[in-house]
Structure formats: C-alpha cells, structure tokens
Amino acid sequence: MNNELLRKLPKIDELLKEKEVQNAIDYNPRVLVVEALRESIDMFRKEILSDKIQSLEKNQVLNYALNLLSKKNRANLRKVINATGTVIHTNLGRSLLGEKAIENVVTVAGSYNNLEYDIDSGKRGSRYSHIEDLIKKITGAEAAMVVNNNAAAIMLVLDTLSKDKEAIVSRGQLVEIGGSFRVPEVMKFSGAKLVEVGTTNRTHVYDYENNITDSTGVLMKIHTSNFKIYGFTEEVSLEELVSLGNKKNIPVVEDIGSGVLIDFSKYGFTYEPTVQESIKKGVDVVTFSGDKMLGGPQAGIIAGKKKYIDLMKKNQLTRALRIDKMTLAALEGTFRYYLDEAEAIKNIPSLNMILCSKEDVKKKCVKLKKKLQNKIHWLELTIDSDYSMVGGGSMPTEKIPTYVIKVKSDKLSPQEMEKELRMGEVSIICRIFNNELILDGRTLFEKDFDTIVQCFSNIKLV
C-alpha cells in the first residue's frame, strides 16, 4: 500500500501546470510557490510512510500547498485579538498606541523628517529635543532623554554615574524584570559594583548610610512594581534617601519601572507612586518604561537633574542605546495626551481599558454574545462576572472587576476551540478556566467583533 501511494505523489513540475498554481504564481513569488509545493509533497510522503493515510488524491496535495502558501505570505509579526483580560500583555506587545501616536509614526515613517535637524537654525539638531521639553513639562524634571528600553536606561545611568564605583540598593528590591533578565545583572553589566543592604523584607536608612564609602557612586531605589511583600516589612522612603544623598553629596537614582503618570488611587485603585512625585521629592534621576502604564512604545525614559542628564547625553553608550524616529514619534504623540489627564484616559488604549467601568465591559459582552448566537448555533454562551489584570509587571495585586463570555460546546472541547481560534487567519488569544473558554470583554474592541464571529465560523467541527 505504501509503495502504491508513494507512486501517486505528484511531481512539482506536474503541480506547476495546474491552473490554481499558475494563478498563485501571478500573485506570489515563484520561489514561495515551489517551496509550498515541495513541503506539501514531503508532508504527504511522511504521512504515507507512517501509515497515517490510506488514500491520496492530487487535489489533497494541491490544497495543502495552497494553504501553506497563504501562511508563508502572512507577516510573522501580525495582529492578534487579546481576549485574555490582561491589558498590558507582555507576550502580545504590551501597550497599544493611541491614534495621535499612530498618526505620528505613519507620518515620519513615510517621509523625510527633522530627526536631527534644527529647522529654526538650519543646522544639525538633537533627536532628544523633540521630546525633552514635553517630558519636562509633564514630569517637572529639569531635563530628560530617551533610550530603547528601561533596562538600557538603568544601564546608561549607572554607567555614567557609577562606573567602577558602588551602587547601593536594598536587597528586597533586586527584582527579575522578565525574560530571566535581572536588575543585579543589568547593574553589574553597567560597570557599577552592586552593594546590597538590608534584608529581603526590611531595610532602614542606616543600612544605606553605614555602607557609604569614598567609592559610592549612587544610592538606588527600585520600585517593585511586579511583586509585593506583606507582613513584617519596612523600606526606606524617598524623602529619607534624598536627605541622605544630599547630606553625603551622592546622587539618588530611582527606577520607577512602570512609568505611572496619573494617580490611580483617584479612580479606586491601589496607590502607585508617580514619576512627578519622585521628581518633586528631589530624586536626582528617575527611569521608567514607555510601553507599560505610560501607554506608549517600548522605550526607557530618563528624567531628572540637568547636570546628570547632560553627562548621559555625552556618554558614548548613548549612541548604541538611542531610539529611532518612529519610537520618538509614537512617544511624542503619547506624551502630548498627558497635557490633559482626561484626554490621556480617553485616548490612550491601555489607560482606557484599565479604567473602563465594569458595566461598559458588560455592554460589549452582550453585543458580542448576540452576534455570536445569531451566526453560530453550536455554541453555548453565558455572560458572567470575573476579574481582569493590569499585566506587564504593573499593579500585580490589582484585580479589575470585569465581565466575560464563557464558551462551551458539545462539538469541541475548550482546548480544541482555543487551538482553532489561536491558529486561525486572525489569532484570538483566549484563556481556559474550569473547562470553559473565556473571552474577557475588557480587552476586546467592538471593531473586531465581526472578525471574532468569522473566526468562530471558520472552526472545523470534527
């Protein structure tokens, strides 16, 4: 049987004469078409040799090849629909950009621009000038600059202020920031000598003071935005650390991580320190991310005293860590929203999703449920209350009340549905809980509802 089926496998030259393949060559690179045909033939050969198929027709090989071709033409980095309820989802690209930020990116990406050109003087300019004044105005800092992510920001600050010197930090703040990257390793790579003080749960100001030497470069505080310690704890306040820094003439550096620019406690959330408060309390240099709570593109923002920022701008490492025109454009568009807090909440998607009311989420779920029920009759759909998460290592203990659509079917298991939706033309990323497929309305957009319905319609029932 194997030999008979193997003989039935069509040759590539034979398949290239088929009308469907000729049409495909008209709209696709020939090399991709041939590659898809070869992979299809190879796949069926393996299936035959493994005794997994008992019959074979040419159109099976042809259809499989055309499906492969479709996938090969699909961008590797592409849109997915986030139905998980995690707003700042690191695996799914973290924060979404607001319209103003997107418009800025499109404009500068498709045209020449004044990235390093001073239009007023007609001479070479600085790329940081496009964003620095805006950051200063919003944060209250004397100066600011931007690099490609927050780990890079920490490394540049320490390389500038504490290379071959000691950086004193509380042992309880030496966090892992994701992807196995850890603050201690980032600090050591900068050339700073890490000096751990205090204990995991309790650190006092005298722990810092007793470890200051002539070789101390900076006193450092790291906001543990991705975990919390409860119980018998104590940490040194910013005011205490700034006072000690002033007394010893040592700069105080704070990594505030998530980059919170609005007081979320006003909206019923647990208090999170803001960048503005750190600057106001006298911290010399603050670093934070652009694509977390700020709601912009991946970037590391450095704000603080001008004398220190100027030194960083002159550091040769800055060129290796600098951001490009599109990131600058997105960041400027994002920061402009923060000139008015209400505008920021309305127009920055991450903020809007986090602060969207539970009842507004329920309205979305009701609308989507109705659309699904009207088109797909093999689904069992119920709306229920649940909790969303902020994500991105931000506000780890915060649970946001939400509504979800729970999906069940006697045709497919939740695991089978999850895979079908994930592997579809447009990937829908869901979660499974208590043997039910969950779609969290908080991270869904109404503009995607028809696509979601179509993705469910495309599921193949066994």
Q: Alpha-carbon distance 28 to 415, whole Å?
A: 34
pLDDT of residue 199: 76
Question: Residue 184 pLDDT > 80, yes or no?
Answer: no
List Cα–Cα distances, 347 to 142, 145, 332, 359, 363, in angstroms.
Answer: 27, 24, 14, 19, 20
pLDDT of residue 333: 97
Alpha helix ranges (H) inside 255-390: 275-280, 306-314, 317-321, 325-337, 341-347, 349-355, 358-375
Mean of per-residue pLDDT scores for the chain: 91
Give CATH for domain 80-90+356-457: 3.90.1150.180
pLDDT band at 178 (very low <50, low <70, confident <90, very high): low
- Residues 15-64 pLDDT 10s: 999 999 999 999 999 999 999 999 999 999 999 998 888 888 999 999 99
- Name the 3-class secondary structure at 237: coil
Cα maximum dimension of the chain:
88
Instruction: With CA atoms as reference, report the closest residue to 221 among 190, 187, 249.
Output: 187
List Cα–Cα distances, 324 to 246, 251, 319, in angstroms.
Answer: 36, 29, 11
Question: Residue 84 pLDDT > 70, yes or no?
Answer: yes
pLDDT of residue 2: 79
* Residue 146, number of CB atoms within 10 A of its CB: 25
CATH among 3.65.10.10, 3.30.365.10, 3.10.150.10, 3.40.640.10 for 97-347: 3.40.640.10
Q: Which amino acid is at 22?
A: Q
Question: Residue 177 pLDDT > 70, yes or no?
Answer: no
- Cβ contact 278:238 at 8 Å: yes
Instruction: With CA atoms as reference, report the closest residue to 256 among 296, 302, 290, 222.
Output: 222
- Cβ contact 300:146 at 8 Å: yes
* Residue at token pair 């979601």: 452
Tokens (6 digits) for 397? 């203990």
pLDDT band at 355 (very low <50, low <70, confident <90, very high): very high
Q: Alpha-carbon distance 452 to 128, whole Å?
A: 41
pLDDT band at 227 (very low <50, low <70, confident <90, very high): low
Question: Residue 462 pLDDT > 90, yes or no?
Answer: no
Tokens (6 digits) for 295? 């709601």
pLDDT of residue 10: 92
Q: Alpha-carbon distance 61 to 64, whole Å?
A: 5
pLDDT band at 1 (very low <50, low <70, confident <90, very high): low
Tokens (6 digits) for 153? 């920001």
Q: Are strands 436-440 and 431-433 parallel, antiparallel or unpaired?
A: antiparallel
362-373 average pLDDT score: 97
Q: Which residues contact 456 (CB under 8 A, 6 or more apart)?
A: 372, 375, 376, 379, 421
pLDDT of residue 309: 97
307-314 average pLDDT score: 96
pLDDT band at 229 (very low <50, low <70, confident <90, very high): low
Return the domain boundaries, the chain: 2-72, 80-90+356-457, 97-347
Question: Residue 197 pLDDT > 90, yes or no?
Answer: no
pLDDT of residue 257: 82
pLDDT of residue 231: 56
Instruction: With CA atoms as reference, report the closest residue to 280 among 137, 136, 139.
Output: 139
Question: Residue 209 pLDDT > 70, yes or no?
Answer: yes
pLDDT of residue 271: 85
142-152 average pLDDT score: 94
Q: Which residue has the higher pLDDT, 173 or 415?
A: 415
Question: Residue 160 pLDDT > 80, yes or no?
Answer: yes
Q: Which residues contact 142 (CB under 8 A, 6 or more apart)?
A: 136, 304, 305, 306, 309
